[in-house]
Copies of this chain bind each other. A is one copy, B any other.
Amino acid sequence: MNPLSSNAVPVRVGLLGCGNVGASFVQLIDARRADIAKRTGLDLEVTRIAVRSITKDRPVAIDQALFTTDAASVVHDPDVDLVVEVIGGIEPARELILDALKAGKPVITGNKELLANHGTELFAAADTAGVDLLFEAAVAGGIPLMRPLRESLLGEPINRVMGIVNGTTNYILTRMTEAGASYADALAEAQQLGYAERDPTADVEGYDAGAKIAIIAMIAFGARVVAGDVYHEGISGITESDIAVASRLGYRIKLLGVAELFGDEDHPEVAVRVHPAMVPVQHPLAAVRDSFNAVFIEGSAVGDLMLYGRGAGGLPTASAVLGDVIDAAMNLRQGTHAAIGQFARIPIRSIDELSSAFYLSVEVADRPGVLARVADAFGRHGVSIRSMEQEGLGTEARLLFITHLATERDVRATLRELRELDVVDRIGSVLRVVGQD
Contacts and interface: CB of A to CB of B under 8 A. Distances in A.
Interface of A: 24, 28, 32, 35-36, 39-40, 136, 142-144, 147-148, 151-157, 222, 265, 282, 284, 286-289, 292, 294, 299, 301-310, 313, 315-316, 318-320, 322-323, 325-327, 330, 334, 336, 339, 341
A170 to B, nearest CB: 13
| 10 closest residue pairs by CB, A with B | A287-B287, A155-B322, A306-B308, A142-B302, A301-B319, A305-B309, A144-B152, A302-B319, A144-B148, A152-B323
A422 to B, nearest CB: 45
Of residues A152, A284, A309, A315, which shows the largest number of chain B Cβ atoms within 10 Å of its Cβ? A152
Contacts of A301: 24, 28, 142, 315-316, 318-319, 322
A339 to B, nearest CB: 7
A428 to B, nearest CB: 29
20 contacts: A32-B156, A39-B154, A136-B152, A142-B302, A142-B305, A144-B305, A147-B151, A151-B327, A155-B325, A156-B322, A282-B287, A284-B288, A286-B287, A299-B319, A302-B316, A303-B315, A305-B307, A305-B310, A306-B307, A308-B308
A27 to B, nearest CB: 9
Contacts of A284: 284, 287-288, 292, 308
A334 B299 CA distance: 28
B304 A309 contact: yes
A288 B157 CA distance: 24
A289 B327 CA distance: 34
Given A286-B287, A302-B310, 7 more contacts: A32-B157, A142-B302, A151-B323, A153-B323, A292-B304, A301-B319, A305-B310
Contacts of A316: 301-303
A115 B319 CA distance: 29
Contact of A306 (B289, B309, B322, B330): B309
Contacts of A136: 152
Contact of A154 (B40, B157, B299, B309): B40
A152 B147 contact: yes
Contacts of A282: 287, 289
Contacts of A222: 39
B36 A323 contact: no
A301 to B, nearest CB: 4
A110 to B, nearest CB: 14
A302 B140 CA distance: 11
A236 to B, nearest CB: 26
A155 B309 contact: no
A142 B303 contact: yes
A154 B313 contact: no
Contacts of A289: 282
A155 B319 contact: yes
A103 to B, nearest CB: 23
Contacts of A326: 151, 154-155
A225 B392 CA distance: 62
B310 A303 contact: yes
A326 B334 CA distance: 18
Nearest to A288: B284
Nearest to A341: B39
B36 A155 contact: yes
A193 to B, nearest CB: 16
Nearest to A313: B303
A301 B308 CA distance: 15
A32 B289 CA distance: 37
Nearest to A327: B151
Nearest to A28: B301
Most buried by B among A265, A302, A334: A302
Nearest to A44: B155
A153 to B, nearest CB: 7
Q: Please indicate which of the listed interface residues A40, A156, A323 has the most CB atoms of chain B within 10 Å of its own CB.
A: A156
